[in-house]
Amino acid sequence: MATRQTRTLARLMMAPAVVLLLVWMIVPLSMTLWYSFENYNLLNPANRSFAGLLNYQFFYTDPAFWQSIANTLILVVGVLLITVIGGILLAILLNQPIFGQGIVRILVISPFFVMPPVAALVWKNMIMHPGYGVAADIARFVGVEPVDWFAQYPLLSIVIIVAWQWLPFATLILLTALQSLDSEQEEAAEMDGANVVQRFWHLTLPHLARAITVVILIQTIFLLAVYAEILVTTNGGPGYASTNLAFLIYRTALLSYDVGGASAGGVIAVILANILALFLMRAVGRNLD
């Protein structure tokens, strides 16, 4: 009886969010799509004209294009691996009875509260700087040549910084999931003679599957968009070694001021992101029931 009414009500309640997001998506997206077919450079506005597929052609023939896609994937996968594996280990550790649990937890989640440019500046100057950074000080102390992180391992350095920012998030979610694990089940498994590894593999990990899925999904969305850390530290180099897709678009938009090219890049990024999302949903989506 009430079903029709509630359904209408439900639609009405959903409407503001859906409509707002539709507008927020469609207006910029259609403008972007439009610009992507135009010769439009901010610094030369008189020269605006229809460009056909030229912007797309220029964007994907950019010498940095393929490498930027590879770098994007390495960055996303690398950070996911570190945060998920590290997060699981850390969550298990923090789930043990320890002294000062509250403080430990506060310390571990703190990097999540640091804004990306600050995180990048701190790592670049204070930690990884080849001359005055803490890492260089330690290297010299033990008598090895300090590593010039951003020149020798540019992408790895970015992965480390971004992983540092997201490890707390993964740890928190996995810890919460771990706390809901039935301890009786675990004890029963222990009685049956299952060792630590077996218990982890057959009991803990399946229980965490859903939480891991959530971590992967949320982080992927944010990791695809990483650019501030790159801008502050390596500027995409040396060469194109740390240029990802988001940074390549950034460079096209705010260094070349090539609105047409950046728009084409934006459209390509959306398509790739959606392919990745589809793939992700196939691979892990079933965990979300």
Measured distance CA(136)–CA(154) in Å, rounded = 16
Residue in the structure block whose two tokens are 């509260």: 113
193: phi then psi, degrees, rounded to nearest 5 = 90, 15
Closest to other proteins by CB, 47 vs 183, is: 47
Measured distance CA(145)–CA(139) in Å, rounded = 6
Closest to other proteins by CB, 35 vs 37, is: 35
Q: Are 158 and 234 in contact (CB under 8 A)?
A: yes
In whole angstroms, how close is the CB of 201 to other proteins at the nearest point? 19
In whole angstroms, how close is the CB of 89 to other proteins at the nearest point? 9
Closest by Cα among 157, 159, 156, 135 to 145: 135
Helix (H) or strand (E) holding 125: none
Measured distance CA(66)–CA(194) in Å, rounded = 47
In whole angstroms, how close is the CB of 46 to other proteins at the nearest point? 8
Closest to other proteins by CB, 78 vs 260, is: 260
In whole angstroms, how close is the CB of 171 to other proteins at the nearest point? 9
Measured distance CA(105)–CA(110) in Å, rounded = 9
Closest to other proteins by CB, 78 vs 227, is: 227
Closest to other proteins by CB, 78 vs 265, is: 265
In whole angstroms, how close is the CB of 60 to other proteins at the nearest point? 12
Measured distance CA(199)–CA(190) in Å, rounded = 8
In whole angstroms, how close is the CB of 240 to other proteins at the nearest point? 7
Closest to other proteins by CB, 100 vs 193, is: 100
In whole angstroms, how close is the CB of 260 to other proteins at the nearest point? 10
Helix (H) or strand (E) holding 50: strand 49-50
16 phi-psi bin (left φ>0, alpha ψ -120 to 50, beta other): alpha
Q: Is the dihedral of CA 22, 25, 28, 30 positive or negative?
A: negative
In whole angstroms, how close is the CB of 211 to other proteins at the nearest point? 4
Token couple for 189: 């498994």
Q: 3-state DSSP call for residue 41?
A: strand
Q: Which runs of consecutive H residues, i.e. helices, occur in 43-182?
A: 54-60, 65-94, 101-109, 116-122, 134-141, 149-152, 154-179
Closest to other proteins by CB, 145 vs 192, is: 145
Closest to other proteins by CB, 42 vs 205, is: 42
